[in-house]
A and B are shown apart, each in its own frame.
Chain A
Amino acid sequence: MTPRDPVREEPLRDCEPQADEKGSRHPRPLPSIIGSTVVMKGDLIVGEDLVIEGTFDGTITGRGADTVTVRRTARLRGEVSASKVRVEDGTNLENTVLSGRIGRTDR
C-alpha cells in the first residue's frame, strides 16, 4: 500500500457533509470532526457521525444511527461505543475498548 499521508487530504466521502447546492438553509447536520491537533479529556455523547483524528481520553457514546470513524492519526484511551465504529487501518487501539458494529476502513 502506498503511503498516503496526510490522512486529512483524503476525502471523507460518506462522512463529508452533504452540502445542499441549492443553498438550502436546512442541510443535513454536519458530522463532528475532532481534528488531529485536538486533545480532549472527558465524556462525550454524540448523535451524529463523528470522525476522530486527534487525541481523546475518556468515553465516547453514540446515540442513534451514528458512525464513529477513528482515523489512524487518532490516539485514544478509554471506551468508544456506537452503533457503527469504523477504524482505519494502522490505528493504534491499545488501551481502547470498542463496542458496536466494528469495521475496518482504509480511508
Chain B
Amino acid sequence: MFNKKKEDESDYERTEPNVAASPNVRRRKTSVIGPTLKFRGELSANEDLIIEGEIEGTIAHQDKNLTVGKEGRVKADINARTIEIYGRVEGDIHGEDVVKLAKSADVNGNIYCARIIMEEGARFSGSIDMSQKKKAPSKPTNLPIAESAKQIESAG
C-alpha cells in the first residue's frame, strides 16, 4: 500500500520541474504554459510544449512532444507527435507516435495514435483508433493562424 503510494508520485512529478528548470532543455526549445495562464484561441507550435494552464480553442503542434501537466486543462483538439496527458483534456487527440494517459489523466474525446500507454486509474471516455491510415493532422501552414503570423511578420 505504502509502496503504491510512492509510485503515485509518477515520473511526471520527478521530471517536470527539471524539464523547465534545466538550461539544456531551454536550448532544446520547450514552451511552457504556466498554471495561472488562461488562453482562448488558436495555438500552433513547432517545439515541445508543456501545458499547466488552461487552453480553449485549437492546438496544432508539429512533430513535437506535447505534455498536459497535472494542472493542465485543455478544451481543444490536439495534434502532436508524442502526447502525454496528466491533466484534463476535452477534445480529440491525434498522436503521430505515442499517446500516454497517466493515472491522473481525465480525457473526454477520441484518441488517434500508433501506440498508446494508459496507466491504471486514468479516466477516459471516447474511442481509440490505432488503424494505420494517417489522420492527416492539421498543419499550422494550413491554418488561418499561420496567415496571421505571416501578416505580422510582413508588417514588422
Q: Within 8 Å of chain B (Cβ to Cβ): is A75?
A: yes
Q: Known interface pairs A32-B53, A37-B29, A75-B152. Does A16 touch B21 (Cβ–Cβ under 8 Å)?
A: yes
Bits for B93-115, please: 1 = Cβ < 8 Å to A, else 0. Answer: 00000000000000000000000
Q: Does A19 contact B21, Cβ atoms closer than 8 Å?
A: yes
Provide the bound-state CA to CA distance between A75 and B151, in Å: 10
Chain B contact surface mostly: mixed
Counting chain B CB atoms within 10 Å of each CB, the highest count among A12, A25, A40, A50 belongs to: A40
Provide the bound-state CA to CA distance between A54 and B140, in Å: 14
Q: How many contacting A-B pairs (Cβ < 8 A)?
A: 136
Q: Within 8 Å of chain B (Cβ to Cβ): is A3?
A: no
Bits for B40-63, please: 1 = Cβ < 8 Å to A, else 0. Answer: 111111110100110001000000
Contacts of A92 in B (CB 8 A): 156
Contacts of B40 in A (CB 8 A): 42-44
Q: Known interface pairs A33-B30, A35-B30, A45-B37. Does A57 touch B152 (Cβ–Cβ under 8 Å)?
A: yes
Stretch from B84-92, B129-137, B141-149 that touches the partner? B141-149
B contact residues, total (Cβ < 8 Å): 43
Q: Does A76 contact B152, Cβ atoms closer than 8 Å?
A: yes
Q: In the complex, which residue of chain A has the Cβ closest to the Cβ of B154?
A: A75
Q: Does B145 contact A39, Cβ atoms closer than 8 Å?
A: yes
Min CB–CB distance B113 → chain A (angstroms): 23
Contact-size category for A: 35 or more
Contacts of B57 in A (CB 8 A): 42
Q: In the complex, which residue of chain B has the Cβ closest to the Cβ of A34?
A: B31
Bits for A16-57, please: 1 = Cβ < 8 Å to B, else 0. Answer: 110110000101011111111111111111111010001101
Q: In the complex, which residue of chain B has the Cβ closest to the Cβ of A26?
A: B17
Counting chain A CB atoms within 10 Å of each CB, the highest count among B20, B34, B153 belongs to: B34
Q: Does B47 contact A31, Cβ atoms closer than 8 Å?
A: no
In-complex Cβ contact of B45 among A29, A38, A45 (8 A): A38
In-complex Cβ contact of A46 among B21, B34, B152 (8 A): B34
